[in-house]
Structure 1
Amino acid sequence: MGSGAFAKGHGTGNDFVLIADPDGAAPLTPERVRALADRRFGIGGDGVIRAVRAGSTGDAVLDEASPGTWAMDYWNADGSVSEMCGNGVRVFVRFLLESQLAALADGEGIDIATRAGVKRVVRRGELLSADLGPFELGGDRLVAAHGLEVDRPGLDVSTGNPHVVVALASTEELEALELHAAPVLDPAAESGANVEFVVPGAIADGVGAIRMRVHERGSGETLSCGTGAVAAAMATRHWSGDAADRWIVDVPGGRLEVEVDERGHAWLTGPAALVFRGEGIGGGVSQAP
């Protein structure tokens, strides 16, 4: 990809601007990220991802990975950096593959450095599956949101970044939510948190199902959140008494699958696609085939 080139990609509607910068020559800044992610005056996206080799990122955490490892320098749309993005890491690998910066046969994997550690992404046919590692269940908080008549309890879940998961009683409650404003947490999360609202469904043949909507820290409501899908599945698994290790998560942008392996690692599987490429990221943007 030439100077000023970019790609736009998404995973179940969670969309990103992607830039290749292998040698770390063009660091991101909050101002640049906000401009690129702006849906009216920029390219538009829930976040911006820079592909850079570990050792050249300028970020001490990313540069802890083995030199030469591809690092996902991920920023939220508001210009804040984020530890991890489950949809983003799959779209990032799709970007590497289609830009011929990496190659994967079916069943092969690649290590990606993130601010939440090195994550393994495996190609499974047309889908990509990311090992997001172990998760951690925490304490409870009260959550207030527009559209909820009373505050609801939420469970803290860490998947490398912070989440609070709230169970609702019905699809009608889920659809009535107005997530234009961030839900209010009591007590407040020190560094903020993504908030997932879920409606648990049936568990059959060891597979559970849930529906989810999410308000992402730094991005607002998004059509999907990969680490949020993991958090929602693991919270629901906990509430069910660990009744299933595989969960189907339906989000407004599509469907994801979460599975817990024998090590207690959560795997996130789903689609990842690039929808267009362009030139001129430093100034005006023009679409390219």
Structure 2
Amino acid sequence: MKLKFYKYQGAGNDFVMIDDRENSFPISTALIKRLCDRHFGIGADGLILLQNDEEHDFRMIYFNSDGNESTMCGNGGRCIIRFAKDLDAASDRMTFNAIDGLHHGVVDDKIIRLQMIDINEVEDHDHYLFMNTGSPHHVEFVDNLTSLNVVEIGRNIRNGAPYFEQGSNVNFVQVMEDNSLLIRTYERGVEDETLACGTGITAAAISAFVKKKVDTNNIQVKAIGGDLSVNFEENNHNFVNVWLNGPAEKVFEGEIEI
């Protein structure tokens, strides 16, 4: 059987995109893991299905590169907005369902804007913050991000207390003089550092605001794979109208035998 696929990337986060509006994709952990394999497959941080939704433009189903269905992926969400527009499955403004609920998306030329879920609880600990921005995120602020062993330290935190088997994504953030952030992220499910993580970038921006490390709610964030921004409104320690903004584009398309 030949499978038609598309490859998209947002800030270096890359995804195998499948138009599954006919519900024909044979979901299996082994198949998804092979398709995401960078040596024996297409290669990607994850695989995303675009499916029909009865009430909204479409539904997003996201799988990590380990083949397991996962929580929300911010850059994946931005990529599926671009994908839906390219397929003529949605207009420049759209709504879609994902595992964490309803999202709004906007295509503004090369900038793709994704409205994230509201964040109503932020755990502010001595040395880190924790919140769920659609996926769980541990955020630590550091002074010298470039020299940090993100994979080793991130893996230990991801598997250690208090996260254990459920795990958490782990973000290391450096605040710059201009109120912008530098970020590096260890992603669970990928089990490695990725070039960017949308839900992690969202968590980092809110964490910097909570810790009063920035004096704005419109924050520029630089990841290894590219530059994004996060803007939000804060209302009595609740964060609403949260948007993740940045480019997302098609890399290539093709067919693969499965």
Q: Shared fold by TM > 0.5?
A: yes
Q: Does 1:28 align with 2:27?
A: yes
Report the equivalent of 2:219: 247
1:260–1:93 distance in 2 versus 1, CA, 3 Å: same
Q: What SS does the corresponding residue of 1:36 show, helix, strand or coil? A: helix
- 2:176 is paired with a residue whose SS is strand
Which residue number corresponds to residue 183 of structure 1?
156
Residue number in structure 2 paired with 1:276: 252
Secondary structure of the structure 1 residue equivalent to 2:117: strand
2:111 matched to which residue of 1?
A: 127
Matched residue type, 1:216: E
Alpha-carbon deviations, 1:127-146, whole Å to 9, x = none?
110110212443356xxxxx
Change (3 A) 1:140 1:237: closer
State the 1:69 CA deviation.
Answer: 3.5
* Higher CA-based Rg: 1
Q: Hey, what's the Cα distance between the residues in 1 that align with 2:211 and 2:234?
A: 20
**Deviation of 1:25 (Å):** 2.3
1:136 and 1:38 map into 2 onto residues whose CA distance is: 36
CA contact (8 A) 1:90 1:130 kept: yes
The residue number in structure 2 matching 1:161 is 135
Paired with 2:100 and 2:26, the residues of 1 have a C-alpha distance of: 19
Deviation at 1:29, TM superposition (A): 1.7
Computed over aligned residues only, the root mean square deviation of the Cα atoms, in angstroms, reads 2.2
Q: Which amino acid aligns with 2:219?
A: W
1:258 to 214, 225, 230: 230
> 2:95 aligned with 1:111, yes or no?
yes
- Residues 140, 183 of structure 1: alpha-carbon distance in 2 compared, 3 angstrom cutoff: farther
Distance in 2, Cα, partners of 1:200 & 1:97: 35
Letter in 1 for 2:30: E
Deviations 1:225-278 (A, max 9, x none): 011100011011110177210110000001000001377221000000101000
What is the alpha-carbon distance in structure 2 between the residues aligned to residue 273 and residue 175 of structure 1? Answer: 30
The separation in 2 between residues aligned to 1:227 and 1:139, in whole angstroms, is 16
Matched, 1:19 2:21: no
Identity %, equivalent residues = 33
Please point out which of 68, 93, 96 is paired with 2:81. Answer: 93
How many pairs were matched up?
250
Q: What secondary structure, in the 3-state scheme, does the structure 2 residue paired with 1:73 have?
A: strand
Contact 1:72/1:92 (CA < 8 Å) preserved in 2?
yes
CA distance in 1, matches of 2:8, 2:222: 20
For normalisation by structure 1, the TM-score amounts to: 0.80
Q: Is the 8 A contact 1:12 1:255 kept in 2?
A: yes
- Is contact 1:5–1:279 with CA below 8 Å preserved after alignment? yes
Write the distance in 2 (CA, Å) between the matches of 1:266 and 1:242: 16
Higher mean C-alpha displacement, 88-97 vs 236-245: 236-245
Aligned AA (2:16)? V
> Matches of residues 29-44 of structure 1 in structure 2 within 5 Å?
29-44=28-43
Instruction: Tell me, in whole angstroms, the C-alpha distance in 2 between the residues paired with 1:158 and 1:182.
Output: 19
Equivalent in the alignment of 1:58: none
In 1, Cα distance between equivalents of 2:87 and 2:39? 27
What is the SS of the residue equivalent to 2:200?
Answer: helix
Q: TM-score normalized by structure 2?
A: 0.89
Q: Aligned in 2, Cα 1:253/1:242: closer, same or farther, shift over 3 Å?
A: closer
User: Are 1:82 and 2:70 counterparts?
Assistant: yes
List gaps (5 residues or longer) in structure 2: none
1:218 matched residue in structure 2: 189
TM-aligned CA deviation for residue 190 of structure 1: 5.6
SS in 1 for 2:49: strand
Structure 1 residue 4, shift from structure 2 partner: 1.8
Give every structure 1 segment of 4 or more consecutive aligned residues whose post-TM-superposition deviation is greater than 4 Å. Answer: none
1:8 to 1:240, Cα distance in 2 relative to 1, 3 A: same
- The answer to whether 1:52 aligns with 2:51 is yes
Q: Which has the higher contact order (CA 8 A, sep 6+)?
A: 2
